[in-house]
Structure 1
Amino acid sequence: MTHRHPFGAYIVSYLPDGLGMRKERRDDLVAVLDWWMTKTTIPITIVASNWRSADFALVGLSIDIAKLTIVERPGQLLILNRIACLEAFYASEHDWGIMLDDDAVLYDGPQHNRGPRLFPEMIANGIAAYDGVDVFFPINPQKIGFSPIYAADPPLYAAHHVFQRSIDVKGSMFAVRNFRKEGKPVVLPDPNFTLHGEDRHFALEAVRTGYSVMQCGNIVLRELSGTSHFGVDRTAQMKIGYTRLAQMYSNEGLAMKPDSHMHDLKQFWQNCWGSRRKKIIV
């Protein structure tokens, strides 16, 4: 292992003012840090939003905060904290940045395919093996359940890393290539987009810029059960945000499905994906 790790993890940690919620979020963060620091050797940067002086001590907890890089930010919108993570990553020497919420790890049982083993395997293969993979994210079991796609072809997924075109990025966890390091335009979401769907916005912007966005079928997202900042009326808020995105990317063919909160992506794919491969097997 060289001193420069090919991967870096960047965690958004917003601690709300309410004492109960604050403790829940901090407990989740500590569990997440413990997982990443135990299961991987990936260095971690925390964007610490609305932290207080006592939070930096993590008193009585098992985490060695000296091993972390802390970027302090005031209490601010999620998209601004996400941009802070991306900017810190693009300024680094990492080849890949893993963008994380403070409740996100991977399922890592033997039935869950790769789990954290994906990262050292990717390092061993070398970044050139992943040409055509620019942004990738894990299976979201909340969307497709716990009958994972790798069960459909065990030999394939046992011996390969499989990436499939998809726009369904969930901001809890996604990985992005260091475009700045490769001399390419970086991807950043619009800081003025304050509605639901900042993760979808990032994915759309990546595709419009000319990059691929793909689901990795070898890893499964696990979210800890802390308090969500999202609140109620998720579908209604999702429709508002997705409608705004459809307006922002209308020139690229993005539209809403009739009587739905979801996007119609057919024309967007035709206009923006071009000759990029829809499936990559490494």
Structure 2
Amino acid sequence: MSSDLMIPIATVPGESAVPRPARAFPWPKGPLRDWLLAWPLPLVLLAAWALAAHFEWVAPQVLPAPEAVLVTLKESLLSGELWANLQISLLRVLAGFAIGLAGGLALGVAMGLSPTVKDYVYPSFNVFAQVPVLGWLPLLMLLVGIDEALKVILISKAALVPIALNTCKGIHGVPTRHIEVARVLKFTRWQMLSRVVFPAALAPIWNGVRYGLTHAWLALVVVELLASSEGLGFMIVYGRQLFQLDVVLAAVAVVGAVGYALDKLLALVERRLLAWRREAF
């Protein structure tokens, strides 16, 4: 082995250095590495699914082959059925998320800035947050029926809770030294909020927004599974009722892909919003 491939190991003074071979092909770092590491598990699962379907380890009526699901997905897209249901689901989740975002930010800011508001509101809000979306379903069905209002309210609740909690925690987590410097500079209250508090709390607040959208998307699917005649959740229920598991798996794949795409979209926005933090540090 040539000497240019030997790298000495750091040793304690007085001990001899033991050379070790350098890696001829160093493992890539950064986004490429993350991308490469993300693929093996899905490919293994897909291969296992294909083998199970090919050798009929599971009955085809229970586990259709991947190619059958792809054919169903293509036919649903060409017929417009999948796109129509996807549009309905997206409109529902955007409406509920918008309401939850506005309410969560307002409530989180109020609890974060005012100890009095937090003392009065947070205990009740914490109890409200502990009840899952499905826990409110029977009551809301009696109050508002099973139309769009039910779905929007439940989606709003799912989004509101993480947004409010993360906003409150983000404001409480603003470093005290930042506040003290702003007071020395005699900032007004608005300057304190716009130049110190909100920029410092932006990262946790945006995390809450991402969690809120994720929870809203999950709540949408659950609500559509139980009380809907349209949407992706309805496609899953419809396919199960007719024992068309290829339709079920195609809808599930779209649900996962859309949820992943929405989260990645917010991640891109986050990188742009917080670019000034990376430049500052």
**TM-score, normalised with respect to structure 2:** 0.21
**TM-score, normalised with respect to structure 1:** 0.21
Larger proportion of strand: 1
Larger proportion of helix: 2
